[in-house]
């Protein structure tokens, strides 16, 4: 079983070009699943059927009280694990292919207003090294709409300060170039030139953004940074790094950007993932119409 897990890790890394975040998530989910099988007396994951995996989904819901989103992600990880077993001829069919998970109503993404974005970006004190770094991160996140996991994986070589562009890579097959506005370029340039060298633990470190120990910043660390500045700014909305990604997309759409262009910048494989912002915009216009049009108020 240990060899299968190790081979699965190599499969994700090399065959699927999975990001570090996806890699860790899938390995963790599959690890919990294999532990569950072992407790049930099943030593070999090949010797299971659909009912076994369905019972595991039920176990996550009823015994572990996991959310539908978490269970769905776990089953996706397990499904990928069995696809790997199929590709290497360990099994002929995927027992996780037809697992049924009840659908959770999708929550609409939280969007910050332009004023809230300005308030958030004004919070870091750039006279302080940490504040200078944080200002660069927040500006770059809102400038490009990249994921938090992509942000922490950036290397210094990924940003071209002269051409105002950022190269964001999620595996060899999904590399995209994103424009960066001047204020963000200036903030990143200031950080690279004056602060990053003082923070580094080793001159060999390639990470663009490092923590106070001089090593690559973690996703959890960045999440806390965003939450902290949101609180300082007095923003009462539930905010995460992904909120800036949603706001980036929505603000582009509001100002006339084409949905297809936003899809490319966000790195969405399917346009349907980007269309949610169009739905949000349509709902916003309906609200404005109903509250502002004099004849709409007549009922």
Alpha-carbon gap, residue 170 to 168, rounded angstroms: 7
135, 147, 196, 216: which is the annotated catalytic residue? 147
Is the Cα dihedral 12, 167, 159, 143 positive or negative? negative
Task: Supply the angle between the helices 68-87 and 50-62 in degrees, to the nearest 10.
Answer: 150
Give catalytic status of residue 268 as yes or no.
yes
**101 backbone φψ class: left, alpha, beta (φ>0; ψ -120 to 50):** beta
Task: Name the residue among 244, 235, 145, 133 with its Cα closest to residue 192.
Answer: 133
Give catalytic status of residue 100 as yes or no.
no
133, 170, 216, 245: which is the annotated catalytic residue? 245
Alpha-carbon gap, residue 240 to 260, rounded angstroms: 25
Give catalytic status of residue 245 as yes or no.
yes
39, 106, 172, 204: which is the annotated catalytic residue? 172
Residue 186 CA: distances (Å) to CA of 132, 133, 136, 167: 11, 12, 8, 17
**Which residues participate in catalysis according to the annotation?**
147, 172, 242, 245, 268, 277
């Amino acid at each position: 079983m240990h060899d299968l897990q190790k081979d699965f890790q190599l499969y994700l890394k090399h065959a699927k070009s999975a990001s570090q975040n996806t890699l860790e998530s899938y390995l963790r989910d599959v690890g919990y699943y294999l532990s569950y099988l072992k407790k049930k007396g099943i030593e070999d994951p090949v010797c299971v059927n659909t009912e076994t995996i369905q019972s595991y989904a039920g176990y996550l819901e009823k015994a572990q009280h996991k959310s539908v989103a978490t269970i769905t992600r776990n089953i996706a990880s397990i499904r990928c694990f069995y696809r790997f077993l199929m590709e290497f001829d360990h099994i002929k069919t995927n027992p996780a292919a037809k697992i049924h998970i009840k659908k959770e109503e999708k929550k609409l993404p939280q969007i910050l207003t332009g004023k809230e974005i300005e308030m958030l970006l004004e919070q870091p004190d750039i006279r302080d090294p940490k504040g200078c770094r944080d200002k660069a991160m927040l500006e770059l996140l809102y400038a490009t709409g990249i994921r938090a996991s992509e942000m922490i994986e950036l290397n210094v070589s990924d940003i071209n300060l002269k051409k105002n562009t950022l190269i964001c890579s999620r595996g060899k097959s999904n590399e995209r170039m994103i424009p960066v506005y001047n204020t963000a370029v200036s903030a990143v340039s200031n950080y690279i030139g004056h602060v990053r060298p003082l923070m580094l633990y080793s001159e060999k470190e390639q990470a663009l953004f490092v923590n106070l120990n001089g090593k690559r910043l973690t996703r959890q660390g960045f999440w806390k940074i965003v939450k902290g500045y949101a609180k300082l700014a007095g923003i009462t909305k539930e905010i995460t790094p992904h909120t800036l990604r949603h706001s980036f997309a929505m603000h582009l759409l509001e100002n006339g950007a084409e949905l297809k262009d936003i899809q490319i910048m966000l790195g969405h494989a399917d346009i349907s993932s980007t269309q949610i912002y169009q739905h949000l915009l349509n709902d916003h216009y309906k609200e404005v119409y109903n509250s502002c049009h004099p004849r709409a108020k007549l009922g």
